[in-house]
A and B are shown apart, each in its own frame.
Chain A
Amino acid sequence: MARSMKTAAVGAGVAIGAALIAYYVVSYLMVRPPTVAAAGTAPSARITLQTVASIGFGPHPDWVSYLVKNPQGKWQHSTVLRVPAHSLVHVTIYQYDTATGLRNPYWGGPRGIVGEMAIDGKPTPTLDPDLASHTFAIPDLGVSVPLEGVADDAKNQCGSAPCTLGEAHKTITFTFRTGKRGTFRWQCFVPCGAGFILGFGGPMQSVGYMDGYLSVV
């Protein structure tokens, strides 16, 4: 083979390889949910979330998921949150899913929060682990809060997101403190991935559903 042919073949191979890598990187970045900023600024911010039994749209309409209220007051399908550093973050979670129960009852106790959590306005020092539907946990910050599920026989249960306050839900409120800047993962400890082995597949392994990032800036 002539030298020019070899050079052309190698060049084409390198170009194809680079294109594939670029495609992979761009695809990866495109699938990451958008970042939603908390309302307010340091030293106090507010996050409002909801959990739903099935998101109702997108590639996995039957997956359990979180949604976050954006600064414009619209519900957005994302789990990538941005909060200010060295601040108190007040969290309100409207929980529309029924209970699954914690695999490890240890997570039934709220941890790493300022003051007590409240469920429907009532201070709750710990939750019966059988009643937990999800947890909002940021292990690197020591934060873990169990979210009580609505009763299995509750009337007017939400079918798909975004759910409204007129539908059966629990309201969980708590506050945690952020420290230095950084990106921290957050997750659910309840095996709520129905239809997957031991309940820990699908949405439990996917950013945008039951896993996310907390960007402290």
Chain B
Amino acid sequence: MTALPEPVARVPRHLRRIVVIWAVLTAIAVPLVVLVLGPHLPPGRMTAEAGAQVDANTVMTALITPIVLIILVYFGYTLVVFRARGSAIEDGAPVFGHAPTQTMWVAFTSIVVIALAAWGSYTLIVSAHGAGGGQGPNPIALPNGYQKSLQVQVIGQQWNWTYRFPSYGGVETDQLELPTGVGIELHVTSLDVTHSFWAYELGVKADAVPGVDNIVFVHPRKTGSFSIRCAELCGLWHGHMFQTGYVVSRDAFKSWIAAQQKAESKNQRYLPPYSGHYFPEPLRRAG
């Protein structure tokens, strides 16, 4: 009499389940990230540079969504399915390396990281001409038609920002208004310690270093207000180094700068000739 074969316990296909759950969630989440969350990602689209940053943030968020989901799905699945039941505490099954899985993981993450680096480089150099970051005194990522840019000098000092407009007689103001539809060339410097000019909605952030002319390109497209902060700890009132700037129409800008020139006419003669930077040394030092 032949013995009946042992009944074979059906082993659930965990990997297939995890992949299916992950694929479904990814198919739902990625379009939501791109279409619903993406338009609300910072810093908005007031300038070409800010818009490029929104695009980059959207791409990166969409790319990391499947990665975050696979980790969460695996974690959740493990908690539910492999949870130890009963009072006995036993070691789990031994885990061994699985070369194909490891190779695939390394290859996949490498591709993602390289793709993000390529996208970031493209945004930085090609699509947004520096992406709103300071390029130092000799920028290499020059936007088209940069020769026609409006130059604006940003001067950091403990604890306020002032601005000079060399094409308007070097007039200096303690407010910033910029016209739409014109390329802006910001020259960021400092008179004392290191500050960082952070115009959030413009997508601009550049170090203000004494003795350095740090150049940033920005192209305003929409009118509105933007916040200006110092992003470098610079002393007692660093947290108060805040201003509100405005992007306005060209006509409004012309009126504003004319009013500034008139208001500053009495003080103008005392300003030093326009320069890329000013050596941070007081003229005299007394008690």
CA of A185 to CA of B239, assembled, Å: 11
Instruction: With both chains docked as a complex, state the minimum distance between the C-beta of B177 and any C-beta of chain A, in angstroms.
Output: 15
Count A interface residues, CB 8 Å: 45
Contacts of A189 in B (CB 8 A): 157, 160
* Contacts A106-B267, A106-B271, A140-B240 given; does A191 touch B287 at CB 8 Å: no
Asked if A33 lies at the interface with its beta carbon under 8 angstroms from chain B, I say no
CB pair B159 A139 closer than 8 Å? yes
The answer to the question of A104 belonging to the interface, with a C-beta cut-off of 8 Å to chain B, is: yes
- Interface 9-mer from A9-17, A126-134, A173-181: A126-134
Taking a contact as CB atoms under 8 Å apart, the answer to whether A101 and B271 are in contact is no
Contact B271–A100 (Cβ < 8 Å)? no
Would you call A100 and B270 a contact (CB within 8 A)?
no
Interface stretch of the complex, out of B15-23, B225-233, B277-285: B277-285
Indicate whether A78 reaches chain B with its CB closer than 8 angstroms.
no
Q: Does A204 contact B (CB under 8 A)?
A: yes
Q: Is the CB of B286 within 8 A of A104?
A: no
Q: Whose C-beta in chain A lies nearest to the C-beta of B270?
A: A105
B287 touches A99 (CB 8 A): no
| Binary CB contact string for chain B from 203 to 216 against chain A (1 if under 8 A, 0 otherwise) | 00000000000000
- Contact across chains for B267 and A126 when beta carbons are under 8 A apart: yes
Task: Assess whether B272 is interfacial by the CB under 8 Å rule.
Answer: yes
Asked if A39 is at the interface (CB within 8 A of a chain B CB), the reply is no
Minimum distance in angstroms from A88 CB to a CB of chain B: 21
Looking at the complex, which one of A98, A198, A206 makes contact with B287 (CB distance below 8 Å)? A98
Contacts of B237 in A (CB 8 A): 185, 187, 211
Which residues of A come within 8 Å of B, CB atoms?
53-54, 62, 64, 97-106, 108-109, 111, 125-126, 128-130, 133, 137, 139-140, 142, 144, 149, 152, 185, 187, 189-192, 194, 198-200, 204-207, 211
